Amino acid sequence: MSQFKPSDFPRTTMIAPFQFIRPIVCLATLAVASAFGDTFEYAYTFLSGDVVSGRFDGTLSGDLISHISKATLVINGVEISSPIFEASYDDASGRYRDGEAVASLDGSKNNFFFINSDVGDDDFTFTSYFYSLPELGFAAGALFGQGDPYFLPDEEMFSRSWTVTSVTQGVPDSASTLGLLGLSILGLACFRPRRQVSV
């Protein structure tokens, strides 16, 4: 009786699931990394000499900064301690809305309202704000204080008056860091070096 050796059986090509997992992990890692935003410092100097400044996180694409969050507001050196909301103005509805605030490097495409109440949810108990809406003819305006507020009226924006500069590049927050760590561990778990089989 003839005996078959394993090498006598026809070879079939099998695609290991790991061949699919590894590229998926790589693509997901790149996607998470590309979503990291920068931290920006901004400042606007009014013709009166008053200065509004602060920071925010955002994603720069071309000359436009979107996905703005974590804004701070400093008016003439005094930081507003209450939480700052990032709103934008919707010209179609004539209302402020939460999120979708954007800024541009030269200020011409700014559409943001940094304010210490949630105006997007019809909360108008604010005491301080700074906004810039040049496309609607409101380059900049600000309000500071309670009782007897210090109001900085709307004025035309000059390019020399607005500055925004990235101070960090692609720094992930803690949630993104954990996500990348998990993807890295999965990628290592899926990687198995091929064994050399001697015949």
SS3 of 98-152: ECCCEEECCCCCCEEEEECCCHHHCCCCCCCEEEEEHHHCEEEEEEECCCCCEEE
Residue 34's pLDDT is 44
Q: Is 32 within the bounds of a domain?
A: no
Residue 190 domain-assigned (yes or no): no
pLDDT given at position 81: 87
Q: Is residue 71 in a domain?
A: yes
Structure tokens at 124: 């108008």
**How many angstroms separate the CA atoms of 76 and 68, rounded?**
22
Mark 139-174 as b/e (b = at least 16 C-beta within 10 Å): bbbbbbeeeeeeebeeeebeeebbbbeeeeeeeeee
Q: Is the pTM of this model over 0.85?
A: no
In a domain? residue 157: yes
Domain that holds residue 99: 38-168
pLDDT score for 26: 45
| Domains contained in the chain, number | 1
Residue ranges of the chain whose pLDDT lies below 50? 2, 4-18, 20-21, 23-35, 173-178, 180-181, 183-191, 197
Residue 137, pLDDT score = 72
Within-domain flag for 17: no
Residue 29 lies in a domain: no
- Please tell me the predicted confidence (pLDDT) of residue 140: 80
